[in-house]
Structure 1
Amino acid sequence: MRIRMLLKIIRAFLRTLVSISLIFIAYISFSVRKEMGDIRQKLAEIPTSPIYLDRYGSQIYYQDGFKRFKFNDSKTGIPELDIQREVSSRMLMLTAIAAEDKRFFSHGGVDGSAIARAFLANQKNKQIVEGGSTITQQLARTAFKNVVGEDKTYIRKLREVFAAMLIEKEMTKEEILENWYTWISFVPSNPGLLNASESLFSKKPWELKTHEMALVIGLAQSPTRYDPLTYINNANKRKESVLKRMLELNFINEKEYQESINAEVKLKPLEKTFYATGFINSLKENADLDLSDYPLINTTLDKKLQNNAYASICFFMERLKGQKIDKELGGIEGVSLISIDPKTGAIRAFVTSQHEIKAKKENYEIGDELGCLENKEPTSKGNWYDFSKSFRSPGSAIKPFIFTVALENGMDLNQEIADRETLFWNEDDSSVYAPQNHDGEYLKISNWVNAFANSSNVPFVSLLDTIGSEEISEYWQKMNFEKPWEDYLSAALGSIEMNLLEVTALFSTIASYGEKRNFKFFESGATQNGEIIFKKNNSSKKIFEAQTAKKTIYILGEAIQHEKSTASASIMCNGLEREIPKLAGECIQEWFPSTSKTIGPKKHVIFGKSGTSQNNRDGWYIGCIPDLCTGIWIGSRQGGGKLSGGNYPALMFNMFMRLSAPTLSWNTFESPNNFEFEPKNIFSN
C-alpha cells in the first residue's frame, strides 16, 4: 500500500515537473519569437561602420563594417567565367559545411546528435566546453545577440535553439549561408567573409583556391587563435583539419586533397590606405558614445608618424631575426610604441602588436631589414594583441616619478647625494633591503644628473625611504594608475607593475608641466560631407606644480646628454652607423634649435629615461620633446638575456625620431623660474 502511494506521488511529481518544464519551454519559445520580430528585415539591416580618418584626412584601413555576401555577386555576365565562379561558390558552400556543420542540409536548424555529444562533454568536464552549434545557431546568436544573450548557460542555449528553428522556417538554406558569411567574424575585428578574404588575400571569396577557402573559413572557430597574420602555424593546422573533413565527406578527392595540403599559403593583405588596427580597437574601447552614429570619425592619429612607428619596429625586429634570440635576449615576446601629444593628450602613433621571435632566421643577410624603411606603406604583422595594456615591471623608468614627488616635497636639488652600498631597514617585517647598482659600481658622492645618467639605484631607494610610501601612493592615485602602489622599497626600482600607456602618460604629464591629460583618440564625428556634428572635449588634472615638472625636465635633459648616460643611444649621432642606417635620416640633434644664446638656465629640447626590469625581461624607453612623448616597450619571453632599455628600445626611439624629424616642430622646454643648479661634476667610482 505504501509503495503504491509512493509511486503515485512520484508520478504526480514527474507530471508536475514535466508540465512546468513544458510551460517554461513554451514561454522561452514565445519570448524568442516575439523579440526576434521580422527576421528577414533584421538580417537585412546589417550594422554600418564609420570611416576613420587620420588628423590630415587620410583614411585608416580598418574593416569593421559589415559587407553583404551574395552568391549571385560572383556573376559577371561572361559565361565561361560565371561557370568557373559557380563551381567556386559551390566549393565555398561545401567548405563551410565541412568546417562547421556536416548535416546542414538535413536538419531544421538544430543537430540533435551534435547537441547530445556536446552535453556529454560538458557533463564530463563539469563546465560548458563544447557548444554543438549548427551554422544556423551560430547565425542566430551573432545576428540576434540581444535576443539570445551571451552567457554560457543552458537557458541561453535553449533560446539559441528556438531562434535557429525560426530562422530555418523563414529562410532557404542558401540564404542562411549567405547571412552566415555576412555576420560571422573570420578574422579579428573584421566581420564577414568578404572582409576576411580581402584583408588576407586581396581577393573576393569566389576567387580563392580550395586551400585558401579552407584556411579562411576554418578561422570562424576562433578568429584570434587562428589569425594567420599572428599565428600562421595554428591557422595551417586548422586549414589541414578542414581539408581532411572535406575529404572524408567526399567534397574533394584524394588528388585535390593532396594538392591543397601541399599548396603554400601566400598571404597578401589588401594595402588600401594605411593600417592602425590596434589604435582603432582602443579608440572603440575608450569611446563613450556610439561611433556608428557618425559616418566619419576624425581621429588624432598621424599617418606619417604611424608609418614611421611601423617602420622602426619592423627594422629592429627583422634585425633581431639575424641573432641568437633565445641565448642573447631570452626570446622576443612583443613590442609596442605609443606617441602622445602632451599638450592635448592626442594619440599620434599607436603600434601595439605581437612580434614573437623564437629562433634565429637561418637565411638572414645583413641589409634585409632595410626593406622596412624603403616601404612607403609598411604594415605590422599580428596587430591584434594589445601589449600596451600588459602589466610589466618598468624598472628604472619609474625613477622620474619618485624624483618629481620628492621635489614636490621640498627636496634641494643642489645637495650632494650618496651613492654607495647601503642597507635599509624595513620596520614592517623587520627585514634588511640592500639595493645594488646595475653594474656593481657606485658614484659615492654625486648629484642627480649623474644619478640619472648612471641609472644609480641607491639614491632613489633612499628618496622613497625618506618620503615614505604613503606620500608616493597619494600621487600614484592622482595619476589614476590601475594597480595600487606597493609598500616596498624595491618599488623605487620598478618592482611595481605598469603598462606602456601608464608609463607614457607619466612622462607626458611631466612634459606638459604637471598637467595630466586624458588620452584622446578622436577629435570629432562628422557627416559624409565632413560637417562636424560632434566635437570631443578632453579634460586634464593637475598632478605636479609647473615649477616642479620643469626641474625634472631640466635634470633628465642634462642626464640624457651626459657622456656616461645609460640611454645615450636614444639621441646619439656618431657611433651608431652600424645600428641606424643613413636611410633613416639625419641625427635628431641636427634638428635641435640653438640654445647658445639662452639667458638664464639652459633650455632642453628633449628628455627621456630608459628602464630594464629584473632579469632583463623588459626593456623600456620613454622620450619627450615639447610636442611629442613616445614610449617604447620590448618584452622578452623568459628573460635572462641582454635586453635592456638602453639598447634596442633606445635605438628604436632614435630611429623613430629620425624618420619623423621633418614633420615635427622642434622647440625647447621652458626653464624653471629663479633656478640655480650648480652640481659638482663628480663621476668617480
Structure 2
Amino acid sequence: MVKTQTRSSKPVNKKKKKPNTKKGLGKKILLSFLAVLSILFLIVVSVTAYFISTAPSITQEALIGTIPSTIYDKNGEIITKLGGNDRILIDPSDIPENVADAVLSIEDKRFYDHNGVDFVRIGGAFITNLAKGKLSQGGSTITQQLIKLSAFSTSKEDQTIKRKIQEAWLAIQAEKQYTKEDILALYLNKVYLANNIYGFGTAAQYYFGKDVNKLDIAEAALLAGMVQAPNHYDPYVNPEAALQRRNTVLGTMLSNQKITQEEFNIASALPITYNLVDHKNDKSAAELSIDSYVQAVAAEISEKTSLNPYTDGLSIYTNLDMNVQNKLLDILNTTNYIDWANNDVQAAVTVVDPNNGAIVAMVGGRNINVQLGLNRATVASRSVGSTSKPLVDYGPAFEYKDYSTGQSVSDSPINYSDGTPLYNWDFRYFGSTSIRTALAASRNTPALRTLRDVGLDNAYAFLSKLKIDVTNNGVPGLVESNAIGFEASPLQMAAAYSAFANGGTYYKPFTINKIITRSGEEASYVGEGTRAMKDSTAYMITDILRGVPTTYATSADIPYLYHAGKSGTTNYTEDQLATVTGGKTVPFAAPDAWYIGYTKRYVVSTWVGYDTPNELNHYLDQTESTYAQLIYKYIMSYLAQNGDNTPWEKPDSVERYGSELYLKGKRPVYTEIERDVTTRRRDEDSDDDKEKTTISFTTKSFSFSSREATTRETTTKKEEDN
C-alpha cells in the first residue's frame, strides 16, 4: 500500500491584514462634509422659501404709480408736495428706439435674454467687486429695479439678503405676467430723473421741451445716465458730472453696436447745455422760497428712516416757521434792508432754536432759481474764520484749563511751529491783554498761544462734542492753523453756538417733528441733547461775546436786546489776492464773512461770499464784509419782536469779581490797592451800562417800549450785582 503524504490538520498561522484606517477616516470626513452641505442646503432652501412666502404682492397699480408726500410747516399748514407729479406716460408699443438703446446699454444689456434675474451679470459683478475689494458694480436687472421702485425702499440700509431674494423672486413672477415691452415701459415711466420729475416722457418735456419719441441720441443718453443718481447727474446742478455720465452711456451704446463711431463722435462732442430748456424763471416763488429747507427735510428722512419722500405718500410735519423764512428771503433778495453790491454775492442763513435743535428757517442762497440747487447752509466747504475761536481756542481753555475771562495772554509776534509768522488782522499788537479782550477783539496771536496751552487733542475733543469733525489733508485732527479757522457749514456753526446759548448742551439740529405713513404709522422726533461743556464754559463765552456787537461788530448791534455773537472773515494768500484784485492795491479783501449771534431763544448763523472767490473782483470789500452782520441784525430784530428779552443767568459754578468771571473758588486774592482799582473799574462799567439803558432805539422792524427799557435797566442792575 502506497502511503500518500497529506497536509497536517494543524492550523497554520497566517498574518492578518490591518484595516485601512486612512481610507476609513477619509470616507468619514467626506460623509460628514456632505452631511453639513446637505444641512446647509436645507437651511438655505428653507430660509429662501420663507423669504419668498413673506414677499409683498405686486399689483399693477404699484408698478405704475407714485404717491406724493405732503410737507407741513410748524403750524400744520401745507407748504409743498414731493413726487407724484402728473406724468407723460410711454406706451409699451411706442417705446422710442434711442431711449431703449440708451437705457438698456447702461442698465441691462441682456434684458431680452434673461427671465428677470441675470445670473451672468450677477457673476460678472461678483468678480468685479471681488477684484476691486468693494461693491462698485450691481447685478440688478431692469425688472428687479422696477420691483424695487414699486415695493421696496431704495435705502442702502435695506439692501439685505432677504430683500434681494424677494426682489429676484418677484422679478421672475413679473416676467411671467408681463411682456418685456410692458416691463420696459413701466420702468421708463417710473424712474426718478431729478427736479421732482418722474418718467422719461415727462423728463423729455422738462429738459428738452419735446416729445420723448423726438429725443436724439445725445439727449436720450443724458436722461439714461441720470437714472443711477438723478440729483448728482442733474445737468443744471452738476453739469460736469452730467457730461461725463452722458458720454459714458454713449460709450456703452457704441460698444453694444447701437450707434456708429461717427454718431458717437458727434454726440459726445456736444456741450451738456445742448438743447436744455432754461428753467430759471419757471419755478414759483413759493417753491423756491423753501427749496433749501425741503432739501434738508429729504436728507433727514433718508438718514432717519428707509422711507422715500418722493414716492411713499408721507405726511411730513416740520419745524419751519414760514414767517421767519419769508423774512429771510426778503432780507437776502431785495434791497429793502441791504444795498447788495451785485447779484453774484451769495449768502446762506440758518436759524435754530438752541433749546431743542429745531431748525426754524434756512435759506441756502440768494436769488434761488433752480429747485434742489446748491444749499450753502448745509455745505461745509468754506473756512469760518474767527468765529472758530470760541470753539477751538477759548471754550476749551475755560473747559480744561480753568481760565478766567481776565486770564492774561500775550498779543505779540509769534510763528507757527514750521516758522511761518502769524499776524493779527491789523498787523498790530496789544502786548499783555486779557482773554476777554483777545476773543472779543479777535486777536490772532493770543488765539494760537491759547490753543497751544490747551493742546490740540483737548481742542479736538471739545469740537467733537459739538459734532464738528475737522480734518487736515484728509486726516482727522487739528493743526496749529486751526487756531484761527476751520471748514464748517452755517448749520454746523448754528448748532455749535447753540450750546453757548443754552448753557452747555449740544442738540443735533433737525427739521422734522413728525412723520405719518399712508398706513397711519406715526413717528415723532424731538431734540437729541448731550452735555457738550460745563455751564461755566458756556456762560463765560457768552459773557465775552455780549461785548462783540456793541464794540467790534457794530453792524450787528441791536440796542436793548440781550444777545451775543462773533464775527469772522477769511484771508487770501498773496497770489490769490493779486488774482482777485487784478494786481491792484485795495484796502480790504476777504473771500468770506461770517456772523453767528444768539439770544436765549434763537441762534442765527450767517455766511456771505462768492461761489467762485478766486475769480477777478469776486472778493468782499470792507462794506460787503458787514453784510453777514446786517443779515443777523435784521432777522434777529424780527425774531425778538415776540420774544422774551431776558439775560442769561449766571450759574452757581461762576463768580464775578469786577468785570471778570472766575470759576467758583478760583478767584485770586487782591491787595487793597488792586481791589480799589478793580472796584472803581466795576463802578465805571456799571455807570456806562446805566447810561446806555437811557438810549432810545427804533428800526424798521423792531422797537422797545419805555416799559421794556425800564425792565431792561432793572434786569441789567440785577445782572451786575450777580
Normalising to structure 1: TM-score of the pair? 0.63
Percent identity, aligned pairs only, is 18
Tell whether 2:594 aligns with 1:621: yes
Taking a change above 3 Å as real, the CA distance of residues 65 and 437 of structure 1, as seen in their structure-2 partners, is farther
| Alpha-carbon distance in structure 1 between the residues aligned to 2:617 and 2:239 | 28
**Matched residue of 1:653: which SS?**
helix
Q: How does 1:548-627 map to 2 (within 5 A)?
A: 549=538, 552-562=541-551, 565=552, 568=553, 572=555, 592-593=558-559, 595=560, 605=563, 607-610=565-568, 612=570, 619=592, 621-626=594-599, 627=602
Aligned residues: 586
| Alpha-carbon distance in structure 1 between the residues aligned to 2:532 and 2:156 | 43
Taking a change above 3 Å as real, the CA distance of residues 115 and 647 of structure 1, as seen in their structure-2 partners, is farther
How far off is 1:174 after superposition? 3.6
| Alpha-carbon distance in structure 1 between the residues aligned to 2:353 and 2:548 | 23
Contact in 1 for aligned 2:193/2:226 (Cα 8 Å): yes
Q: Which has the higher contact order (CA 8 A, sep 6+)?
A: 1
Contact in 2 for aligned 1:295/1:525 (Cα 8 Å): yes
Tell whether 2:509 aligns with 1:519: yes
Superposed CA offset, 1:130-187 (max 9, x none): 4454322332455455899979999998876555333211222243224423554433
Task: Identify the range of structure 1 (405-414 vs 166-175) with the bigger mean alpha-carbon deviation.
Answer: 405-414
Code of the aligned partner of 1:630 = S
Code of the aligned partner of 1:136 = T
How far off is 1:340 after superposition? 1.6
- Structure-2 residue corresponding to 1:54: 73
Tell whether 2:333 aligns with 1:342: no
Q: How does 1:179-198 map to 2 (within 5 A)?
A: 179-181=186-188, 183-187=190-194, 192-193=198-199, 197=203
Superposed CA offset, 1:434-462 (max 9, x none): 97334553221334564235522332344
How far off is 1:219 after superposition? 0.7
- Structure-2 residue corresponding to 1:279: 296
- Structure-2 residue corresponding to 1:319: 344
| Alpha-carbon distance in structure 1 between the residues aligned to 2:593 and 2:62 | 48
| Alpha-carbon distance in structure 2 between the residues aligned to 1:648 and 1:167 | 65
Contact in 2 for aligned 1:111/1:134 (Cα 8 Å): yes
How far off is 1:496 after superposition? 7.1
Code of the aligned partner of 1:264 = N
Q: How does 1:483-562 map to 2 (within 5 A)?
A: 490=480, 493=483, 500-524=490-514, 536-538=525-527, 540=529, 549=538, 552-562=541-551
Contact in 2 for aligned 1:508/1:624 (Cα 8 Å): no
Code of the aligned partner of 1:403 = Y
1:265 to 252, 273, 276: 276
**Matched residue of 1:36: which SS?**
coil
How far off is 1:489 after superposition? 8.4
How far off is 1:280 after superposition? 1.4
- Aligned-residue Cα RMSD (Å) equals 6.0
Structure showing greater radius of gyration is: 2
2:413 to 416, 421, 425: 421
2:422 to 436, 441, 444: 436
Tell whether 2:453 aligns with 1:451: no
1:304 to 316, 323, 326: 326
Contact in 2 for aligned 1:336/1:634 (Cα 8 Å): no
1:630 to 595, 605, 611: 605
Task: Identify the range of structure 1 (551-560 vs 199-208) with the bigger mean alpha-carbon deviation.
Answer: 199-208
| Alpha-carbon distance in structure 2 between the residues aligned to 1:207 and 1:148 | 32
1:383 to 359, 374, 388: 374
**Matched residue of 2:227: which SS?**
helix
| Alpha-carbon distance in structure 2 between the residues aligned to 1:271 and 1:216 | 21
Code of the aligned partner of 2:567 = K
Q: How does 1:215-230 map to 2 (within 5 A)?
A: 215-230=222-237
Contact in 2 for aligned 1:517/1:540 (Cα 8 Å): yes
**Matched residue of 1:629: which SS?**
strand
Contact in 2 for aligned 1:422/1:435 (Cα 8 Å): yes
Taking a change above 3 Å as real, the CA distance of residues 351 and 623 of structure 1, as seen in their structure-2 partners, is same
Code of the aligned partner of 2:596 = G
Contact in 1 for aligned 2:567/2:629 (Cα 8 Å): no
- Structure-2 residue corresponding to 1:63: 82
Q: How does 1:647-666 map to 2 (within 5 A)?
A: 650-654=625-629, 656-657=631-632, 660=635, 663-665=638-640
Code of the aligned partner of 1:624 = G
| Alpha-carbon distance in structure 1 between the residues aligned to 2:637 and 2:433 | 38
Contact in 1 for aligned 2:331/2:631 (Cα 8 Å): yes
**Matched residue of 1:221: which SS?**
coil
Superposed CA offset, 1:303-349 (max 9, x none): 32564687599x8996379xxxxxxxxxxxxx864332335532133
**Matched residue of 2:297: which SS?**
helix
Code of the aligned partner of 2:430 = L
Contact in 2 for aligned 1:69/1:178 (Cα 8 Å): no
Contact in 1 for aligned 2:500/2:541 (Cα 8 Å): yes
| Alpha-carbon distance in structure 2 between the residues aligned to 1:306 and 1:285 | 27
- Structure-2 residue corresponding to 1:136: 143
- Structure-2 residue corresponding to 1:399: 389
| Alpha-carbon distance in structure 1 between the residues aligned to 2:132 and 2:479 | 45
Contact in 1 for aligned 2:51/2:166 (Cα 8 Å): yes
| Structure 1 segments unaligned to the other structure (5+ residues) | 75-85, 322-334, 354-371, 425-430, 573-587, 596-602
| Alpha-carbon distance in structure 2 between the residues aligned to 1:173 and 1:342 | 55
**Matched residue of 1:186: which SS?**
coil
- Structure-1 residue corresponding to 2:16: none
Contact in 2 for aligned 1:66/1:191 (Cα 8 Å): yes
